[in-house]
Amino acid sequence: MTKKIVIEPVTRIEGHGKVTILLNDAGNVDKARFHVTQVRGFEKFCEGRLFWEMPLITARICGICPVSHHLASAKAGDAILGVKLTPTAENLRRLIHMAQIVQSHALHFFYLASPDLLFGMDADPAKRNIMGLIAEMPEIAKKGVKIRAFGQKIIEMLGDKRVHPNAAIPGGMSKALSPDKRAEILSQVDGVIADCQFAIDLFKDYRAQHVEMVTNFADFDSAYLGLIDDKGNVEYYDGKLRLRGGDHFILEDNVAPENYLSVIEERVEDWTYLKFPYYKKLGYPGGMYRVGPLGRLNVADGCTTPLANKEFQNFKGLGGNGVVQGSLYYHYARLIEMLNCAEEIKSLVEDELICGKDIWVKSSHISDEGIGVIEAPRGTLFHHYWVEQSGKIRKVNLIVATGNNNLAMNRAVYEVAREFIKDGRLTEGILNRVEVAIRCYDPCLSCSSHALGHMPLEITICEPDGNVRQVLRN
Amino acid sequence: MAQELAREIRDENIDVRDVSVDGLNLLELIVGYDRLVVIDAIMTEVGEVGEIYRIKPENVCAPSCSAISPHHFNLATTIEIGKKLFPMEMPEEVTVFAVGTREVARVTEEMTSKVKEAIPKVVNLVLEQVDPTNKYRDAGHALDSNIPSNCHRKPQNNACQR
């Protein structure tokens, strides 16, 4: 006999989600399920479209990281055309991509996650949000706005719009960067790098005061997936896939992105629309892996830029074997990446090549298949298209970052629930912690789980016959 | 409307932006300007389609009343946050021109005829707002209004003056 606890709404993963906790006869947690209850359907309705339309169509999948879908789609188009980009075009794509990671990570840390850390997880939800931060710590909030605005500005420079930009096309880019815009980026980038370092110090101060909690919160063993460059450094735009186990053992290395199906399979469950990717050789669900900032830093051997690499070495030291598994460390990894990308922006823009005019390669060749893989802010993103010779799409497969983390998010909720539900009794604070655990993974729903003045989470405890025994709301 | 304004306004101190943003995304765009004019669509309980309103943001909604996430601060909240974070850099004067519509949630490629007819009138009102001495056209008129807090709005265009 089982009892069911439902936490809902956990809204906006570009739709709606909810959490159900199933108890066993003893009143302890048997299973935790994170449901995504809205189907998006992009894979289906893109069929019949032309592959060169896809960068603009698929960017609409997400309003937070449209650049990632835009670029992964353009990369799939490059593969269909069989072209290699010009150096300027590749650098422009890297620039807009780094800008997106900077703005997305700043949004997440300053607007969504930092109130949990700065006010404490048990602080009044009316205060524990961006408005509370603005009221009580405006200097911190201001840095968040400025870092994010810097990234958004670059996206707009290259893609004309801050959301859903029109920048990349199969074979290159549609627009060059003018020298005055390059100068504008250069004039601001050092300030942004300093603000990224400030954010890292903020997290490290918090960790120093809560070492045990930060280390143990939703801490569990899993594998990790991410792209690496030819030296084993964290790579966001291109590179090869590496899968590392929680024991530091490398399970797969230097896998060409187009061979991703040799490593990953997907499972469908009847209680959620979000699929469950897993590592094939370990099976389902044992092949759970994590992506995103924690995944990328755990698989890599270093960062490409000096300040970020120094922090990376410090990060690696937190895991006994060089693998850091506590979910709250996602925030630290995210901030290191934000610094890494800000430094990368500086490096890209210091090179005059970025203003080159040779940004597009023509091709009349059309392959029947193309795969584009990129590291989106939330993790590895796969776009796989099968096309006809006319360029019409026959079939689409998308594996998005939040999907890659699906098993892990379920596990994180389970870990938190197990700690806070004993013998059928809920300990005070479970709502906040379930929310914080999900937020570590930065799925799109993290925005709305941070309501202002009213937390949209609710736990309903149901008797085995379905009758509601207790309802808890924040 | 933004295209029409961009054609008419030749002052390099005035930027015309066509955006679909709100909240903190909007804040990033308006910091650093002296004056802000927002042009928007509005759905009211009693108003007519095509009716033009001139509104102060604090009269659209009370700060925070419709804020459910950092992506959806209403305009009043956005202005309030901006004044706290960037007190010296926010526009001192903010005006909203809103055109009454029957539908704000459904996206179509065509405007209704009544909304379309309002475009030149709003353009004239904005021209007068940013430059009261302008002699381009007859400025027309707008209702100076307080709008109930349960209205629906969809950000459209902004004219910002440095």
Residue A233 pLDDT: 98
Residue A432 pLDDT: 77
Residue A190 pLDDT: 98
Q: Residue B60, by phi and psi: left (phi above 0), alpha (psi -120 to 50) or beta?
A: alpha
Residues of A in Cβ contact (< 8 Å) with B28: 145, 148-149, 152-153
* Residue B156, both tokens: 């459209």
Residue A454 pLDDT: 39
Tell me the pLDDT tens digit for each residue of A209-226.
999 999 999 999 999 999
Provide the CATH topology of domain A84-218+340-358.
Cytochrome-c3 Hydrogenase; chain B (1.10.645)
Tell me the pLDDT tens digit for each residue of A334-350.
999 999 999 999 999 99
Residue whose tokens read 């479209």? A49
Check A452 against B27: CB less than 8 A apart. Answer: no
Residues of B in Cβ contact (< 8 Å) with A135: 84
pTM, to two decimals: 0.87
Q: Which of B80, B85, B86 to mutate to test the interface with A (most CBs of A within 10 A)?
A: B85
| C-alpha to C-alpha distances, A103 to A149, A152, A276, A371, nearest whole angstrom | 7, 6, 28, 26
Helix-helix angle A179-209:A306-316, to 10 degrees: 20
Q: Which percentage of chain A shows pLDDT scores above 90? A: 65
Q: Are A292 and A324 contacting, i.e. CB atoms less than 8 angstroms apart?
A: no
Domain ranges for chain A: 3-38+410-473, 84-218+340-358
Q: Are A343 and A55 contacting, i.e. CB atoms less than 8 angstroms apart?
A: no
CB pairs under 8 A between A and B: 52
Tell me the pLDDT tens digit for each residue of A51-95.
999 999 998 887 778 899 999 999 999 999 999 999 999 999 999
| C-alpha to C-alpha distances, A455 to A4, A14, A431, nearest whole angstrom | 21, 18, 9
Confidence of residue A413 (pLDDT cuts 50, 70, 90): confident
Confidence of residue A450 (pLDDT cuts 50, 70, 90): very low
**Average pLDDT estimate for A4-21:** 55
Whether the predicted pLDDT of A456 surpasses 60: no
Residue whose tokens read 């570590």? A440
Higher pLDDT, A380 or A160: A380
Q: Which of B28, B71, B84 sits opposite A149 (nearest CB)?
A: B28
Of A31, A101, A37, A103, the closest CA to residue A71 belongs to A101
Check B85 against A142: CB less than 8 A apart. Answer: yes
Q: Which of A452, A454, A457 to mutate to test the interface with B (most CBs of B within 10 A)?
A: A452
Of A139, A130, A199, the closest CA to residue A340 belongs to A199
- Which of the 8 DSSP states describes residue A252? E
**Which DSSP string corresponds to chain B?**
-HHHHHHH---TTEEEEE----HHHHHHHHTT-SEEEEEEEEE-SSPPTT-EEEE-HHHHS-TTTT-SSTT---HHHHHHHHHHH-TTTS-SEEEEEEEE-S-SSS--SS--HHHHHHHHHHHHHHHHHH-TT--SS-----EE----TT-EEEEEEEEEE-
Residue A443 pLDDT: 77
Q: Are A138 and B84 contacting, i.e. CB atoms less than 8 angstroms apart?
A: yes
- The SS3 call for residue A170 is coil
**Which DSSP string corresponds to A285-349?**
TTT-EE-SHHHHHHH-SB-SSHHHHHHHHHHHTTSTTS---BTTHHHHHHHHHHHHHHHHHHHHH
In chain A, what are the helix, strand and coil shares in percent, each to the nearest 5?
45, 20, 30
For residues A214 and A198, what is the distance between their CA atoms, to the nearest angstrom?
Answer: 19
Residue A433 pLDDT: 84
Residues of B in Cβ contact (< 8 Å) with A10: none
Torsion A185-A191-A195-A196 (CA) sign: positive
Confidence of residue A123 (pLDDT cuts 50, 70, 90): confident
Residues of B in Cβ contact (< 8 Å) with A138: 84-85
Residue A447 pLDDT: 41
Domains, chain B, in order of start with CATH, read: 2-161 (3.40.50.1450)
Of B101, B61, B100, B99, the closest CA to residue B78 belongs to B61
Tell me the pLDDT tens digit for each residue of A243-295.
999 999 999 999 999 999 999 999 988 877 778 999 999 999 999 999 999 99
Residue A23 pLDDT: 81
* Residue A83, both tokens: 């072209």
Least confident span in A181-195, A388-402, A455-469? A455-469
Confidence of residue B152 (pLDDT cuts 50, 70, 90): very low
Residues of A in Cβ contact (< 8 Å) with B71: 63, 447
Residue B65 pLDDT: 44
Q: Pairing between strand B143-144 and A393-399?
A: unpaired
